[in-house]
Amino acid sequence: MLHPIESTAAARRPAVPDPDDNPWHTSAACRSDEAGLFFAPSKEPTAARLAREEQAKRVCARCPVLLECREHALAQPEPYGVWGGLTAAERRVVLARRRRREAELLDARRLTARIAG
């Protein structure tokens, strides 16, 4: 229970949602699905893996927090499973593209600075 002074002060503060009270993953569509759909069992045959990943991606496609999930998986980076509608291999491609784009932007800034300087 809050101390009376704390409860009075809290009552005067505007209600600001606390992201820790409702993290993005609590709204994820996959919470109601079997976790095995998103992570490969050991020695899974290729055809079965592709079918499972497509099924997982269909769940992701209807997810209200798809982008948050994807960014989480890219920031971690998550090495396994389908996250944010992308497989681990697809996430590696996205990360490589981002690194390449960041390097190109840095090179362009350096060139611009050299020309201007």
| Chain centre distance of CA 48 | 25
Neighbouring residues of 26: CB distance < 8 A, sequence distance ≥ 6 = none
Q: Which residues are annotated as a binding site for [4Fe-4S] cluster?
A: 30, 60, 63, 69
- Count of CB atoms situated within 10 Å of the CB of 30: 19
Would you say how long the chain is, in residues? Answer: 117
How far are the Cα atoms of 9, 23, 54 from residue 81, in angstroms, in the given order?
45, 20, 12
Q: Which residues are annotated as a binding site?
A: 30, 60, 63, 69
